[in-house]
Amino acid sequence: MRFPLAPTAKIARHIVKNKLQGNKKFAMVLQLEPLHTCNLTCTGCGRIREYSTSLKDLVPLDQCLAAAAECDAPMISVCGGEPLIYPKIEELVVGLLEQGRLVYICTNGVFMRKKMREYMAVAYSPAMESALGQLLSEKLVTEKEADAIRNADAAARQKVVIRPSQWHYWNVHVDGMEYTHDLIVEREGVFKECVLAIRMAKILGYQVATNTTVYRETQSAELEEMFKFLSSLGVDGHTISPGYDYDAAKKDMVKRLGKDPKDFFLTRDLTRQKFRDIQRWGDMFTLFGTPGYLEFLAGKRELACSAWAVPTYNVRGWKAPCYVMTDGHYKTYSEMLTQVAWDRFGVDEKGCGRDSRCENCMMHSGFEPTAALSGGIRDSWVNFKYNFGSRPPAYVRTPELEKSVFNGVTIGKGHLAEAKATVNKELSGAKSAFARGGNDLPHDHDHAPSSGGGCSSGDTTQRDQLLAKIGATGSTGLKSE
């Protein structure tokens, strides 16, 4: 099966129950944003821009759990911001699991290994030595970290931790191979850290998914190579969605990076060109979701928007009408359901936007549920076959695959080094000196950043200037298809 049986059965029961009760609109996935603070400043992310005045605010734990209980979505996507910065993330995950929900933690991957070491310290027994040995041999933990796991004190052993479970996925953000991903997240080394974290998670028995946003400059061939590599790491499934040019991200792109949003985000036509191979990928890789949504992305059908099925709850309340557009926030999910004029949004039968802001949107959070909730016999049968059918076999991790994927900072071709070379040729060899100013990822475990609350991307002035200059010279390293 593509998806474990127990969660699949739970989701099916949820749909049947609501249909039998005559509920026309109900929640399938809650996008729970306990905070908007992030340790990265990804190009294209609207959250840290739209909620820039409330970056320090947190949704209290009990309010997060109450929101999940109120909308009763069987799946919770804990996102943000970077959810692993949320001080009560472990208690939140445990609380949601106790409510019987399937929990995805949508993370940029930077703090994952730290969280897994904390789990190992709590769960340590001699039986864990074989996994620990493998982690050491693959350099996923250091000797010092292994000793800390073995000799954890009472306080570390009593911590609430995120344990492997069939009801939980790490959902790691990966937008391309090393060069592209690091460029999009605006920090070198993040791709490599994601790969290490995924590998560690699989050794420890966690379920791992990845989520990929496709932008205008993303090349289909690169994505295919990336999925092969992720499959070879043992990743359990992938979600993929076209990038959407929502206002906050658009404004940031113009102001900070001096780029035209039209050069970055996709129109509907371009999305369909980019996703023309998506159904073939559905056969090659464990893409999560419904065949109906894949057909929609490939331009073979139209779907209505069902944004009400994937509500977003954050520091200001229930965000309406959808994950990307904000016309207001409501106190309760039911209030939002009844007060929003849903038929003003989405697209009509011809695929034209009912609201001009919906014109180019094909995001999974709006359209995926429509395909999943379709009561049609064909859709139901195709969905059943797709999800209950066998998983595509995993790709083999070969040196060639590895070489093609690590095409950025690992081989000395990181975008910041390139920027430096572009801007100031005489300093082009001083990559390491530059890295100290803006690239502080935990290559060395002893210098791993703390995840204990508060986060800052530091002074990004130098990097922003360099990126703006790259934009001006056109030397992004990304080629259009």
- Which amino acid does the sequence have at 212? T
Residue from 325, 372, 448, 467 that binds ligand SF4 (CB under 6 A)?
325
Give the count of residues interacting with ligand SF4 (CB under 6 A). 14
Stretch that binds ligand SF4, among 126-134, 165-173, 261-269, 356-364 (CB under 6 A): 356-364
Stretch that binds ligand SF4, among 82-90, 130-138, 214-222, 357-365 (CB under 6 A): 357-365
Choice between 227 and 342, CB closer to ligand SF4? 342
**Cα-flanking dihedrals φ and ψ of residue 235, to 5°?**
-60, 140
Least distance (Å) from ligand SF4 to the CB of residue 353? 7
Least distance (Å) from ligand SF4 to the CB of residue 321? 5
Tokens encoding 305: 């928007």
**In degrees, to the nearest 5, what angle opens at C-alpha 428 toward C-alphas 426 and 429?**
105
- Strands ordered across the beta sheet of 237-242: 237-242, 207-214, 168-173, 102-107, 75-78, 29-32, 312-314, 317-321, 326-330
Residues 172 and 366: their CA atoms lie apart, in Å, by 21
Least distance (Å) from ligand SF4 to the CB of residue 307? 4
**337 contributes a contact to ligand SF4 by CB under 6 A:** no
**249 contributes a contact to ligand SF4 by CB under 6 A:** no
**416 contributes a contact to ligand SF4 by CB under 6 A:** no
**185 contributes a contact to ligand SF4 by CB under 6 A:** no
Choice between 94 and 325, CB closer to ligand SF4? 325
| Helix, strand or coil, per DSSP, at residue 392 | coil
**65 contributes a contact to ligand SF4 by CB under 6 A:** no
**340 contributes a contact to ligand SF4 by CB under 6 A:** no
Least distance (Å) from ligand SF4 to the CB of residue 452? 35
Which single residue brings its beta carbon nearest to ligand SF4?
366
Helix (H) or strand (E) holding 313: strand 312-314
Choice between 266 and 358, CB closer to ligand SF4? 358
Stretch that binds ligand SF4, among 18-26, 46-54, 354-362, 408-416 (CB under 6 A): 354-362
Residue from 363, 405, 448, 455 that binds ligand SF4 (CB under 6 A)?
363
Torsion of CA 306, 248, 107, 8, to 10 degrees: 0
How many H helices and E strands in the chain? 22, 9
Strands 312-314 and 317-321 come out as antiparallel
Least distance (Å) from ligand SF4 to the CB of residue 15? 20
Residues 148 and 142: their CA atoms lie apart, in Å, by 10
Least distance (Å) from ligand SF4 to the CB of residue 323? 7
Least distance (Å) from ligand SF4 to the CB of residue 408? 32
**371 contributes a contact to ligand SF4 by CB under 6 A:** no
Residues 283 and 110: their CA atoms lie apart, in Å, by 30
Choice between 77 and 365, CB closer to ligand SF4? 365
Q: What residues have CB less than 8 Å from 1, skipping those under 6 apart? A: 8, 387, 388, 389, 390, 391
Choice between 162 and 358, CB closer to ligand SF4? 358
Residue from 44, 282, 346, 414 that binds ligand SF4 (CB under 6 A)?
346
Least distance (Å) from ligand SF4 to the CB of residue 341? 11
* Sign of the dihedral defined by the CA atoms of residues 240, 175, 390, 14, in that order: negative
Stretch that binds ligand SF4, among 75-83, 260-268, 361-369, 443-451 (CB under 6 A): 361-369
Choice between 118 and 368, CB closer to ligand SF4? 368
Question: How many CA atoms lie less than 13 Å away from 392 in the CB half-sphere?
Answer: 22
Residue from 34, 81, 243, 366 that binds ligand SF4 (CB under 6 A)?
366
Least distance (Å) from ligand SF4 to the CB of residue 320? 9
Choice between 325 and 470, CB closer to ligand SF4? 325
| Helix, strand or coil, per DSSP, at residue 316 | coil
Tokens encoding 481: 């298809």
**Residue whose C-alpha is closest to residue 46's, from 67, 31, 60:** 31
Residues 298 and 286: their CA atoms lie apart, in Å, by 17
Binding characters for ligand SF4, 285-324, by CB under 6 A (x = yes): --------------------x-x-------------xx-x
**Residue whose C-alpha is closest to residue 87's, from 111, 121, 122:** 111
**Cα-flanking dihedrals φ and ψ of residue 32, to 5°?**
-100, 115
Q: What residues have CB less than 8 Å from 54, skipping those under 6 apart? A: 36, 315, 316
Stretch that binds ligand SF4, among 51-59, 359-367, 433-441, 470-478 (CB under 6 A): 359-367
**Residue whose C-alpha is closest to residue 114's, from 139, 145, 88:** 145
| Residue numbers at the binding site for ligand SF4 (CB under 6 A) | 305, 307, 321-322, 324-325, 345-346, 357-358, 361, 363, 365-366
